[in-house]
């Protein structure tokens, strides 16, 4: 591995327009990828991890130019040994987002992609040998016998038989199809591969075989790789560095062992807590992300994770248990969003034989506390008084008053966009708790 990046991604964005009306007037955009940046060194595997819907696969298809990015640069083989000279218009000569057809075709020889579902990426009407050899034909190799020799050799390198050349995709298992897909990605001898969830569609019993094969192939061919997954345990096994993605943004990036041993962003902590451990004696707290899941169409202000964060920063005027603060903010957001319906609670509690008006306000308020994980009484007297006032208003049907009262609960995380904090050795995170000018509460102790 060298220090020169083979791929440099700079402020990459991919927004999907939202239109309405017969004139398809754009009224918004879904910000699937919203300004991500990272480098991949030669011979390195960078893992891009996050839950479903965070923008990982969109980032992959944009980087490889299967989709045209909205903005940003993807500089291939141009950040190190070939220099950083730019064109007169400010563009980089190796920025693939600006490549035209011939340049893009040349780029395809050096960069390939392995997809999540090998069945959908293989033509059922073509033999697997023809599917793999097709790339050679597209790029000018007209010698049929030579194409066959290359493909048969590759099939053997990925653990299959050369005799499989003339067989069809339906004759193979999922693991075998993924090996065929890997052979197709390697047939042009690329320098860079994007592997998009390459084992998530496979049985657990064969995942380890495919991951081991990927590692062997990378070493044999000297490949650089962007490895995308939602599984942190897989990332730890195959990646040199890891970038954690949430709602279109990278919130933490660093060497894999540094991120796993010392996570600096609450979202990373939550992902790590979900990794199962085979040791029953290990007492590790599983972090449950509560709160409101935001939309990429209208991402929240400030830190995008604050609507679910288990370490969301408290206002200076309050001092209460962290999980109660999280519950208060979640309740506030649900009331704002019109998701709290005291009348339905009153009707449900009354049953078929009672008049809903017979259910007291105190009973409704108690049920609201239970439903939204609010304690019977909050330790901070000021916070308890504010909550009680809001609950009174809700029980009486005064929703605007309740919304206004609960708005006194606020956090710096929803107002200030976190900058990047450098923890050393390229370990970066974007969390207000890591910035000295913001008061950070101590981490909650594990049970």
Instruction: Return d(Cα 1, Cα 243) in angstroms, integer.
Output: 19
Of 283-292, 304-313, 356-365, minimum mean pLDDT range: 283-292
**pLDDT at position 396:** 93
Residues 221-235 pLDDT 10s? 889 999 999 989 899
Question: Residue 283 above 60 pLDDT?
Answer: yes
User: What are the backbone angles phi and psi of residue 46, rounded to the nearest 5°?
Assistant: -105, 125
Query: 126: burial class by Cβ within 10 Å (0-12, 13-18, 19+)?
Result: middle
Do residue 90 and residue 200 come from a single domain? yes
**pLDDT at position 91:** 75
- Residue 243's pLDDT band, with cuts at 50, 70 and 90, is very high
DSSP string computed for 253-270: EEEHHHHHHS--SHHHHH
Question: Residue 5 above 60 pLDDT?
Answer: yes
| Residue 125 neighbours by CB distance under 10 Å | 9
User: What are the backbone angles phi and psi of residue 358, rounded to the nearest 5°?
Assistant: -75, -15
The distance of Cα 420 from the centroid of its chain, to the nearest Å, equals 18
Do residue 15 and residue 91 come from a single domain? yes
Do residue 12 and residue 114 come from a single domain? yes
**pLDDT at position 17:** 93
Is residue 231 one of the residues assigned to a domain?
A: yes
User: Residue 299 carries which DSSP code?
Assistant: P
Do residue 236 and residue 332 come from a single domain? no
Q: Where are the alpha helices (DSSP H) in 187-321?
A: 204-221, 232-238, 256-261, 266-273
Is residue 86 one of the residues assigned to a domain?
A: yes
Residues 66-108 pLDDT 10s? 999 999 999 998 644 444 567 767 778 889 999 999 999 899 8
Is residue 307 one of the residues assigned to a domain?
A: no
Do residue 70 and residue 212 come from a single domain? yes
Q: Which CATH number is 79's domain given?
A: 3.40.50.300
- Residue 441's pLDDT band, with cuts at 50, 70 and 90, is very low
Residues 171-221 pLDDT 10s? 999 899 999 999 999 999 999 999 999 888 788 878 888 899 999 988 888
**pLDDT at position 431:** 96
Is residue 293 one of the residues assigned to a domain?
A: no
Is residue 311 one of the residues assigned to a domain?
A: no
Do residue 327 and residue 393 come from a single domain? yes
- Residue 1's pLDDT band, with cuts at 50, 70 and 90, is very low
Containing 157, the helix (H) or strand (E) segment is: helix 144-157
| Residue 22 neighbours by CB distance under 10 Å | 5
Instruction: Return d(Cα 123, Cα 30) in angstroms, integer.
Output: 32
Question: Residue 281 above 90 pLDDT?
Answer: no
The distance of Cα 340 from the centroid of its chain, to the nearest Å, equals 30
Q: Are 259 and 427 in contact (CB under 8 A)?
A: yes
Do residue 83 and residue 195 come from a single domain? yes
Q: Where are the alpha helices (DSSP H) in 279-341?
A: 322-336
Domain boundary residue among 255, 273, 291?
273
Is residue 92 one of the residues assigned to a domain?
A: yes
Q: How many domains does the chain contain in total?
A: 2
User: Residue 171 carries which DSSP code?
Assistant: G
Residues 53-64 pLDDT 10s? 899 999 999 999
Instruction: Return d(Cα 182, Cα 293) in angstroms, integer.
Output: 35
Residues of the domain holding 61: 7-118+190-273
Do residue 221 and residue 95 come from a single domain? yes
Do residue 378 and residue 269 come from a single domain? no
**pLDDT at position 358:** 79
Do residue 253 and residue 351 come from a single domain? no
Do residue 19 and residue 105 come from a single domain? yes
Do residue 202 and residue 333 come from a single domain? no
Is residue 75 one of the residues assigned to a domain?
A: yes
Question: Residue 432 above 50 pLDDT?
Answer: yes
Is residue 36 one of the residues assigned to a domain?
A: yes
């Amino acid at each position: 591995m060298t220090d020169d990046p083979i791929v440099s991604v700079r402020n990459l964005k991919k927004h999907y327009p939202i239109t309405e009306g017969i004139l398809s007037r754009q009224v918004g955009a879904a910000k699937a990828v919203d300004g991500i940046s990272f480098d991949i060194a030669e011979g390195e595997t960078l893992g891009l991890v996050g839950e479903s819907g965070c923008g990982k696969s969109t980032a992959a298809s944009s980087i490889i130019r299967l989709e045209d990015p909205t903005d940003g640069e993807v500089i291939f083989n141009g950040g190190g040994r070939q220099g950083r000279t730019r064109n007169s218009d400010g563009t980089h000569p190796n920025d693939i987002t600006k490549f035209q057809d011939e340049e893009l075709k040349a780029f395809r020889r050096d960069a390939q992609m392995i997809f999540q579902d090998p069945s959908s990426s293989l033509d059922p009407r073509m033999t697997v040998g023809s599917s793999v050899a097709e790339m050679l034909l597209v790029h000018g190799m007209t010698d049929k016998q030579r194409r066959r020799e290359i493909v048969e050799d590759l099939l053997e390198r990925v653990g299959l038989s050369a005799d499989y050349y003339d067989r069809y995709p339906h004759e193979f298992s999922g693991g075998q199809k993924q090996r065929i897909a890997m052979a197709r990605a390697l047939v042009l001898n690329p320098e860079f591969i994007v592997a998009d969830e390459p084992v998530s569609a496979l049985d657990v019993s064969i995942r380890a075989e495919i991951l081991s094969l990927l590692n062997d192939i990378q070493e044999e061919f000297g490949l650089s790789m962007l490895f995308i997954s939602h599984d942190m345990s897989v990332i730890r096994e195959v990646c040199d560095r890891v970038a954690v993605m949430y709602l279109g943004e990278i919130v933490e990036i660093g060497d894999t062992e540094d991120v796993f041993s010392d996570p600096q962003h609450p979202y990373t902590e939550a992902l790590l807590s979900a990794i199962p451990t085979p040791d029953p004696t290990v007492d590790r707290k599983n972090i449950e992300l509560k709160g409101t899941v935001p939309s990429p169409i209208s991402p929240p202000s400030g830190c995008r994770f604050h609507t679910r964060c288990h370490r969301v920063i408290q206002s200076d005027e309050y001092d209460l248990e962290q999980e109660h603060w999280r519950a208060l903010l979640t309740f506030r957001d649900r009331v704002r969003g019109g998701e709290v319906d005291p009348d339905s609670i009153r009707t449900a509690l009354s049953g078929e034989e009672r008049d809903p008006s017979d259910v007291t306000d105190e009973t409704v308020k108690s049920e609201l506390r239970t439903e939204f994980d609010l304690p019977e009484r909050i330790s901070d007297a000021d916070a308890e008084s504010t909550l009680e006032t809001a609950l009174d208003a809700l029980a009486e049907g005064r929703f605007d008053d309740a919304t206004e009262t609960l708005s006194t609960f606020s956090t710096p995380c929803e107002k200030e966009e976190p900058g990047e904090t450098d923890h050393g050795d390229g370990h970066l995170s974007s969390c207000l708790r890591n910035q000295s000018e913001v008061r950070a509460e101590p981490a909650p102790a594990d049970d």
